[in-house]
Structure 1
Amino acid sequence: MHSLYAAAVNQLSVPNSRLDRLAMTLSGLCLVHCLATSVLLALLSAAGGILGDPIIHEVGLVLAIALGAIALGRGIREHGFWLPSAIGGLGLALMAVALTQPHGGREAIFTVVGVMILALGHRLNVLASE
């Protein structure tokens, strides 16, 4: 029985040098994976700290109000429809309400819904201009 097993292993076996190369390749891939994951998580953590800063939200809202007022106001002047501006204004108002909320779930909901409504206002403005 032992000789049958040895004969089968010899026929199916891979040379040691090939196994060593395969093992070294897998070890290298594991090392790259671990280092890349660590670096990526560190970068995301740092970016999360910066992007979560309230000043980012405040500056973003000021820019959204300024650009929204210009784009939506020009739309009224160009096509004469108030609906896109009214919808966009509602979105901006919800975004402003988000700034009054504690950082967390409610703030995120007001922000996301406000941004979506503002985007709808801008889209309606584009459609009305065509």
Structure 2
Amino acid sequence: MKAAPSSLLDASAISLSGLCLAHCLALPLVAAFSPVVATWAEAEWVHALAIGLAAPMSALALWRKGQALGVIAMSLAGLALMALGVAHWPSHDAETPITVAGSLLLAGAHVFNWRRRHACRT
């Protein structure tokens, strides 16, 4: 079976980060008006699923021989912050800012990877 191209994985990971940001920032506003959405917004399985998709997708797209150390550091820091946010550390109130920061770092790592890969081709 042929492996997915790295640029497709980067684009998918950036899109997943965008969904994470929408979930963290917009969904609470929508949830204020709908109890059904509020229940779904707080479901722990949604957060576990997001981390479960983000970690392997990032590993496939970013962690390869010759990868820039900064890209790897950004991706690890982003994943760590996302995991801390999901674990409600240091507090439940800090979940959103920590998770958003992690999502932005991870998306940034994928953007840098994408740009670096395309710069090498030209």
Superposed, which structure 2 residues align to 1:100-115 within 5 Å? 100-101=87-88, 104-115=92-103
Report if the CA contact (8 A) 2:81-2:102 is conserved: yes
Count, aligned residues: 88
Which of 84, 88, 105 is 2:75 aligned to?
A: 88
Which of 55, 61, 66 is 2:51 aligned to?
A: 61
What's the CA shift string for 1:48-104, capped at 9, x where partnerless?
21122011101111111111111112xx34x63232122111100101111221674
Q: Secondary structure at the match of 2:100?
A: helix
Separation (CA, whole Å) in 2 of partners of 1:86 and 1:41? 34
Q: Which has the higher helix share?
A: 1
Percent identity between the two aligned chains: 25
Superposed, which structure 2 residues align to 1:2-81 within 5 Å? 44-73=34-63, 76-77=64-65, 80-81=67-68
Which structure carries more relative contact order (alpha carbon 8 Å, separation 6+)? 2
Separation (CA, whole Å) in 1 of partners of 2:62 and 2:112? 10
Separation (CA, whole Å) in 2 of partners of 1:67 and 1:105? 28
1:53 counterpart letter in structure 2: A
| TM score, norm. by length of structure 1 | 0.58
Larger radius of gyration: 1
Q: Over aligned residue pairs, what C-alpha RMSD do you find? A: 2.4
What residue ranges of structure 1 are gaps of 5+ in the alignment?
Answer: 1-39
